[in-house]
Chains A and B, each alone.
Chain A
Amino acid sequence: GEDVEQSLFLSVREGDSSVINCTYTDSSSTYLYWYKQEPGAGLQLLTYIFSNMDMKQDQRLTVLLNKKDKHLSLRIADTQTGDSAIYFCAEMRYSTLTFGKGTMLLVSP
């Protein structure tokens, strides 16, 4: 199986909250990341969390980490149409990033 797993698609209405989930397999990962990729663009770092933290909040973004279950989630509050993109979860191991396949978030008006 894949090292980092994500659901492939999520559809929400504008103004709702979006929650994108990710599971990883290496408990020694030090940092976990969320990247955003808009159409025709490269990857943009959204936020990250250190493995000894449970939660990190940054404006509309909330990252939750359950290290016991190796589960990471990204919550976007008040989702806007501009949030439509592909969101990649990634883990840092030995100075190398390993990515999931990405979750396509579609926000409808």
Chain B
Amino acid sequence: ETGVTQTPRHLVMGMTNKKSLKCEQHLGHNAMYWYKQSAKKPLELMFVYSLEERVENNSVPSRFSPECPNSSHLFLHLHTLQPEDSALYLCASSQEGVQSANTEAFFGQGTRLTVV
């Protein structure tokens, strides 16, 4: 256990469905991240939240919508996804703001998403 918990672990959804992925961390960190891991591609950073504000959005399609209601919880809302969105979605958290320190990121186990 890394202190970062993701639910569900597996999700199958149709292209017209709406679903949400949840991430929770109890490490006292102030930054949370969503990553996408597809086969044969590097890990892709999707969203960064620092102090509950989104600080980066790497041109992710609008069918992915993040939400960070507080520093311990992060959601990824999914709507009208495509089959190519099938991937492992990883959540991570870290303590940001101390430039000289090692900002180690702790990862959850991921949600395996299949879009049919």
Contacts and interface: CB of A to CB of B under 8 A. Distances in A.
Interface stretch (B12-20, B59-67, B69-77, B105-113): B105-113
Interface residues on A, range: 20 to 34
Contacts, number: 53
Interface residues of B, number: 25
A82 interface: no
A42 B92 CA distance: 10
Contact of A95 (B6, B96, B108): B96
Contact of A4 (B2, B42, B90, B94): B42
A42 B45 contact: no
Interface string B76-108: 000000000000001010101000001111111
Contacts of B45: 96-98
Contact of A48 (B6, B42, B94, B104): B104
B108 A100 contact: no
A100 B2 contact: no
Interface string A36-64: 00001111110010100000000000000
Nearest to B31: A95
Contacts of A41: 109-110
A45 B106 contact: yes
Interface in A59-92: 88, 90, 92
